[in-house]
Amino acid sequence: MIARLVFRHLSFIGAAKPVSTLPFADGPNVIYGASNTGKSFTLAALQFMLGKSTPLPVIEQLDGYEAVLLGLDVPSLGPITLYRGIQGAGFRLYEGLHHEPPPGLPFRVLDAEYDARTENITSVLLGALGLGGKFVVKNENGEKNSVTLRSLDPFIFVDEGSIIDARSPILSGQYTSATAEKNFFRLLLTGRDDSAIVAVVPPKIRKARQEGQKELLEEWIASLDAQIDAIGIPRHQLDDQSKRIDASLIAIKGDLATRQRRIDEVTRERRRMVDEADRVTAQAREIELTLARFARLMEVYESDVERLEALEQGGHLLLARLDRPCPLCGAEVDHQHHRGRQDVERSPVAARVEIARIDRERRDLVATMNGLEADFATNLVTSERLQRRMAAAERILGALRPEESGLRDKYEQRIEARDTVRERLKLFEERDRLAVQLSQVTTAPTAAKPKLTVGIDGPTGHEFASKVSEVLQAWKFPGNPTVSFDSQTQDIRLDGKERGANGKGVRAILHSAFKVAVLLYCQDKGLSHPGVLALDTPLLTYREPIRVPRHGALATDEKELAATTLYEHFYLHLASLSGRAQFIILENSDPPSDLVDRLSVQTFTGDLADGRSGLLPSVSGSPTVS
């Protein structure tokens, strides 16, 4: 699908005014009617809503209106509405089509002026058309302008004055902007901008800069000469000093590295011994804790043995009493009942067995404690040995560190001396560099005036001229002329005759064919183009001099053209392009009646009692309806 813009409506609103809306359809739109009904104002309002800074023309019908809304379809954005105050400044962008600002609907704020750092009307619309971030060269020095919506103006809007002008349809008439306008035309027809062009300094400015550089370099060299004289040491002696200092630095650095390696070795060995000593100390502490716990266990064993021995003695005593008369009743042994005798007899035996078991465990515990005490003694010996070795390492480090520190101080002193010599040598080197620059500036050749290609080249011009010829043939332009492109004027010729040499009406037709051909050429090549074209009075040839006196009587070539059917074929061709492009034709005369059903027609009658009187209602009239 071709990426293009489609205008949907133009609305005017005010707090005390009814909404006045002019709708647009895709394809050809014809707005015709009497003079002073708002046809040219419609064109100015559309330009205003695409960011033109020129204020809207002051007309009495505009009094009371506060803002303008333009509804349009934009590639990648879809239907949107642009809102702008009558006084100008920035825009609001609403999603969707609206004849009035929708309450509560969020909107984006767009600046009217282009700035790469902000969101603006140019960045949004040109970005959607694939023309965002493009550049065109504006002068022979290669300086560039950013492409903006103003660059596209001549290819979207053609007012009544431009359409009959003798200059090229791509030029505004401003000398300073001619190069940029021609190069933008090339961008449209080729798709290539001038981003790669590198700007050069103009010869006059270059010469002035060279003189300034020469004077500045001479001042710098004189300042360096004064500093060199103040040193009082020739350059060759400074070179010798630098070499000697570098040699001594190498030697000191070697000694320093040797000392540092030895310090690192001793430090690592000391660290290893510290870690070992920590391990031995921790192990000895653990043995001490274990021996303490075992001592408490030994106490438990001894307490248990004493208790069991008491129990054993108690059992023997109890058995001895069992063989005597009862102390209570005096009964003899044979007459006593001893049901628990066996239990009493087993108690001393059990106690003796338990005492034997505890004795075994106690002997094992004693053996274990003896082994731990031996380990503890070994740890103490190891710890003392490690302490002696750590003390020896500290003594070695105490001797090495002062030596290393002295070498480091000596190295830093040599560095300072080397830096001083180097700074002095830099004065000589800087003077040599500036002397070379002065020589280059003094002997620099005068730069040739840059040559840049402006506008489209011959092959592109020929191909474009063929497209213009196709359009003229579709319009049944009389004589079937040969169309060519003049690279000098960036305009077309018919049978070798300049377009501007024709009468006003013929120039208007040829200008219109030029702009339609640009649109179709870009679409055929898959190049960016807005796809909408507004033409103010393209069929001027068919005017009635009495009704339109400001353009004078018809010239000979205008009379010949007016006698043809180009009028009908013009509209017929535009109607055939529906779906590819949108056209807005502003005319004084009505379109062919047999084509009205293929056109979107708006009639400005100029009469309050007859249909729509104009774009805006008359001050004393009723509201304009769409």
Q: What is the pLDDT of residue 534?
A: 94
Higher pLDDT, 560 or 248: 248
Question: What is the rounded end-to-end Cα distance, in angstroms, of the chain?
Answer: 30
User: What does the mean pLDDT of the chain come to?
Assistant: 84
Mean pLDDT for the stretch of residues 123-145: 84
Mean pLDDT for the stretch of residues 178-193: 89
The fraction of the chain above a pLDDT of 90, given in percent, is 24
- Do residues 520 and 533 lie in contact, with contact meaning Cβ atoms separated by under 8 Å? no
**pLDDT tens-digit series, residues 496-523:** 899 888 888 889 999 999 999 999 999 9
Which range is least confidently modeled, 44-53, 389-398, 437-446?
Answer: 437-446
**pLDDT tens-digit series, residues 91-118:** 999 999 999 999 989 999 998 888 878 8
Domains contained in the chain, CATH given: 6-199+453-604 (3.40.50.300), 235-325+339-443 (1.10.287.1490)
Q: What token pair was written down for 547? A: 């009704």
Q: What is the pLDDT of residue 409?
A: 86
- Do residues 358 and 308 lie in contact, with contact meaning Cβ atoms separated by under 8 Å? yes
DSSP character string of 231-245: H---HHHHHHHHHHH
Rounded CA-CA distance 580/584 in Å is: 14
- Do residues 132 and 74 lie in contact, with contact meaning Cβ atoms separated by under 8 Å? no
Q: What is the pLDDT of residue 217?
A: 87
pLDDT band at 625 (very low <50, low <70, confident <90, very high): very low
pLDDT band at 621 (very low <50, low <70, confident <90, very high): very low
Residues 6+ apart with CB under 8 A from 186: 136, 192, 455, 456, 460
Q: What is the pLDDT of residue 588?
A: 83
- Do residues 532 and 8 lie in contact, with contact meaning Cβ atoms separated by under 8 Å? no
- Do residues 510 and 494 lie in contact, with contact meaning Cβ atoms separated by under 8 Å? yes
558 pLDDT higher than 90: no
Q: What is the pLDDT of residue 623?
A: 38
Rounded CA-CA distance 341/348 in Å is: 12
Q: What is the pLDDT of residue 620?
A: 42
Residue 106 has, within 13 A of its CA and on its CB side, a CA count of 1
546 pLDDT higher than 50: no
Q: What token pair was written down for 405? A: 């520190």
Q: What is the pTM of this model?
A: 0.62
DSSP character string of 495-514: TTEEGGGS-HHHHHHHHHHH
SS3 for 549? helix
Spell out a b/e string for 111-149, using b for 16 or more CB atoms within 10 Å of the CB, else e.
bbebeeeeebbbbbbbbbbebbebbbbbbebebbbbbbb
- Do residues 571 and 595 lie in contact, with contact meaning Cβ atoms separated by under 8 Å? yes
Residue 598 DSSP symbol: G
Q: What is the pLDDT of residue 585?
A: 92
Residues 6+ apart with CB under 8 A from 302: 362
Rounded CA-CA distance 329/476 in Å is: 162
Residues 6+ apart with CB under 8 A from 346: none
Q: How far is CA 266 from CA 263, 393, 398, 551, in A?
A: 5, 6, 11, 108
Q: What is the pLDDT of residue 465?
A: 93
- Do residues 434 and 217 lie in contact, with contact meaning Cβ atoms separated by under 8 Å? yes
Q: What token pair was written down for 85? A: 């105050």
Q: What token pair was written down for 434? A: 């500036």
Rounded CA-CA distance 174/429 in Å is: 53
**pLDDT tens-digit series, residues 217-236:** 888 989 988 998 898 888 88
Q: What is the pLDDT of residue 626?
A: 34
Q: Which candidate, 112, 153, 142, 249, places its Cα nearest to that of 202?
A: 142
SS3 for 386? helix
Higher pLDDT, 251 or 346: 251
Q: What radius of gyration, in Å, describes the C-alpha atoms of the chain?
A: 54
Which range is least confidently modeled, 107-116, 130-139, 440-449?
Answer: 440-449
The continuous run of DSSP H or E covering 411 comes out as helix 341-443
Q: What is the pLDDT of residue 624?
A: 39
Q: What token pair was written down for 409? A: 């101080």
Q: What is the pLDDT of residue 138?
A: 81
132 pLDDT higher than 90: no
Rounded CA-CA distance 366/374 in Å is: 12
Q: What angle do CA 460, 466, 467 make, to 5 degrees?
A: 90
Rounded CA-CA distance 196/218 in Å is: 36
Q: What is the pLDDT of residue 372?
A: 86
Spell out a b/e string for 537-555, using b for 16 or more CB atoms within 10 Å of the CB, else e.
bbbbbbbeeeeeeebeebb
Which range is least confidently modeled, 124-133, 241-250, 360-369, 557-566?
Answer: 557-566
- Do residues 582 and 26 lie in contact, with contact meaning Cβ atoms separated by under 8 Å? yes
- Do residues 601 and 32 lie in contact, with contact meaning Cβ atoms separated by under 8 Å? yes
Rounded CA-CA distance 128/122 in Å is: 10
**pLDDT tens-digit series, residues 286-345:** 988 988 998 898 888 888 888 888 887 777 676 666 666 666 676 665 655 555 566 667
Rounded CA-CA distance 31/24 in Å is: 10
Q: Estimate the crossing angle of helix 566-576 against helix 504-525, to 10 degrees.
A: 20
- Do residues 466 and 557 lie in contact, with contact meaning Cβ atoms separated by under 8 Å? no
